[in-house]
């Protein structure tokens, strides 16, 4: 097949997820291009893949050149369209009704392309439910597709000696619950528990960074912030004693392929993807207790179990996880584009 991923080339500080997905499809023998091409009579593709604000331009180009179009619907924020509490997601206050209306309009503007496309994918059952509710009708030819962890490099790394730090890979946006992780660590510090340094790989606004540094200084938490990606990121994860997650889809899988224990705040979305392969905390105190447990307990057997399930090494008789790797995500796209999944 000949496939065009209609979007800008990734920046140097992006996660490169779509880029590595394209590479996996190329390894499977498909011709894949990546970029925002302009219409010409010579353009020939079987499929055009669009997402986000590029969804309608991708669909329009596909129709002009006689190709099929696939729209990937990612990142619908429930709290932003008024379906769930913003405070529960880590924000300090609820959004005003006009803000919710603006966000709803924004999402509808680009998500509506999926109703005219030939197929679409969505990250998570709850996202599908939220989109269906927002439009008042069901998405057509919709497939459940999780984010794929780019594991080819990570699984080849040697088993480095673990170093004395915990790691979080995340943006500092409130809904990622990084501030709630900070509160859990502070809870342990107040109890006199000896806590290793906390390394965060990611980025945020100046206001978010200042807020996080303030919490850590106030509670004597040793914090290190880095903006590193690619191989350097994997090395940090591989050497960490513990990965601390708030709410996110890909980092837990990154921890799993590196054999690093993963702790997340409880959420139906996260459990949907990872089931019993990671640990969960229901609230700040519960999360703090799990940190203390994981820092003092050998959980290597469960990490092997998690690794086998993520990579579909079905040693335990369990079904594959909804969380996936890029090779398996590419295979699923291949089946959708080839009409093997309808």
Contact 74, 126 (CB under 8 A): no
| Contacts (Cβ under 8 Å, ≥6 apart) of 181 | 168, 244, 245, 246, 265, 287
pLDDT above 80: residue 258: yes
Contact 158, 304 (CB under 8 A): no
- For residue 328, which of 82, 314, 75 has the smallest C-alpha distance? 314
Average pLDDT on 208-218 reads 95
Percent share of the chain, pLDDT over 90: 58
When comparing pLDDT for 17 and 190, which is higher?
Answer: 190
The reply to whether domains 2-147+325-337 and 154-318 share a CATH topology is yes
User: What confidence score (pLDDT) does residue 45 get?
Assistant: 96
> Class assignment of domain 154-318?
alpha beta
DSSP string, 306-332: HHHHHTT--SSSPPPPSSEEHHHHHHH
User: What confidence score (pLDDT) does residue 106 get?
Assistant: 85
| Mean confidence (pLDDT) of the chain | 90
pLDDT per residue as tens digits for the range 29-88: 999 998 898 888 889 999 999 998 999 999 999 999 999 999 999 777 767 777 788 888
**What residue ranges do the domains of the chain occupy?**
2-147+325-337, 154-318
Exposure string of 258-288, with b = 16+ CB inside 10 Å and e = fewer, is bbbbbbbbebebbebbbeebbbbbeebeebb
CA distances for 95 relative to 34, 75, 172, 231, angstroms? 36, 18, 19, 38
- For residue 336, which of 147, 70, 66 has the smallest C-alpha distance? 70
Average pLDDT on 292-305 reads 96
Query: Which of 15-19, 122-126, 235-239: highest mean pLDDT?
Result: 235-239
Assign 30 to helix, strand or coil.
coil
Q: Can you say whether the dihedral through the CA atoms of 118, 66, 21, 89 is positive or negative?
A: negative
Length of the chain: 342
Average pLDDT on 161-189 reads 94
Contact 218, 191 (CB under 8 A): no
CA distances for 315 relative to 80, 245, 292, 327, angstroms? 41, 27, 30, 19
Model's pTM, two decimal places?
0.89
Phi, psi of 251 (to 5 degrees): -50, -40
Specify the DSSP class assigned to residue 198.
E
Distance CA 302, CA 46 (A): 43
User: What confidence score (pLDDT) does residue 14 get?
Assistant: 57
Angle at 322 between CA 321 and CA 323, to 5 degrees: 85
When comparing pLDDT for 155 and 215, which is higher?
Answer: 215
User: What confidence score (pLDDT) does residue 147 get?
Assistant: 67
User: What confidence score (pLDDT) does residue 26 get?
Assistant: 95
- For residue 327, which of 20, 7, 74, 14 has the smallest C-alpha distance? 20
When comparing pLDDT for 166 and 248, which is higher?
Answer: 166
CATH 3.40.50.300 fits 2-147+325-337, yes or no: no
Query: Which of 2-16, 33-47, 189-203: highest mean pLDDT?
Result: 189-203
């Amino acid at each position: 097949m000949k496939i065009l991923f209609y979007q800008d080339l990734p920046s140097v500080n992006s996660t490169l997820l779509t880029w590595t997905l394209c590479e996996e499809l190329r390894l499977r023998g498909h011709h894949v291009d990546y970029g925002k091409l302009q219409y010409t009579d010579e353009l020939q593709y079987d499929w055009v893949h669009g997402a986000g604000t590029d969804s309608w331009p991708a669909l329009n180009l596909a129709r002009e050149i006689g190709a099929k179009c696939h729209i990937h619907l990612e990142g619908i924020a429930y709290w932003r369209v008024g379906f769930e509490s913003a405070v529960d997601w880590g924000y300090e206050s609820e959004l005003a009704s006009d803000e919710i209306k603006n966000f709803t309009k924004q999402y509808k503007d680009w998500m509506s392309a999926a109703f005219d496309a030939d197929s679409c994918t969505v990250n998570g059952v709850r996202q599908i439910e939220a989109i269906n509710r927002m439009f008042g009708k069901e998405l057509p030819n919709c497939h459940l597709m999780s984010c794929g962890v780019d594991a080819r490099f990570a699984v080849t790394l040697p088993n480095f000696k673990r170093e004395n730090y915990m790691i979080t890979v995340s943006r500092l946006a409130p809904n990622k619950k990084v501030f709630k992780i900070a509160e859990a660590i502070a809870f342990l510090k107040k109890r006199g528990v000896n806590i290793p340094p906390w390394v965060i790989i990611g980025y945020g606004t100046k206001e978010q960074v200042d807020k996080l540094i303030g919490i850590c200084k106030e509670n004597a938490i040793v914090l290190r912030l880095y903006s590193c990606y690619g191989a350097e990121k994997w090395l940090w994860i591989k050497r960490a004693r513990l990965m601390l997650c708030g709410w996110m889809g890909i980092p837990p899988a990154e921890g799993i392929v590196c054999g690093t224990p993963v702790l997340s705040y409880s959420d139906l979305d996260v459990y949907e993807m990872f089931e019993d392969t990671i640990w969960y905390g229901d609230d700040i105190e519960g999360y703090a207790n799990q940190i203390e447990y994981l820092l003092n307990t050998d959980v290597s057997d469960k990490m092997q179990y998690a690794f086998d399930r993520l990579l579909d090494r079905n040693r335990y008789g369990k079904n594959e996880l909804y969380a996936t790797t890029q090779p398996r995500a590419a295979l699923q796209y291949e089946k959708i584009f080839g009409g093997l999944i309808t």
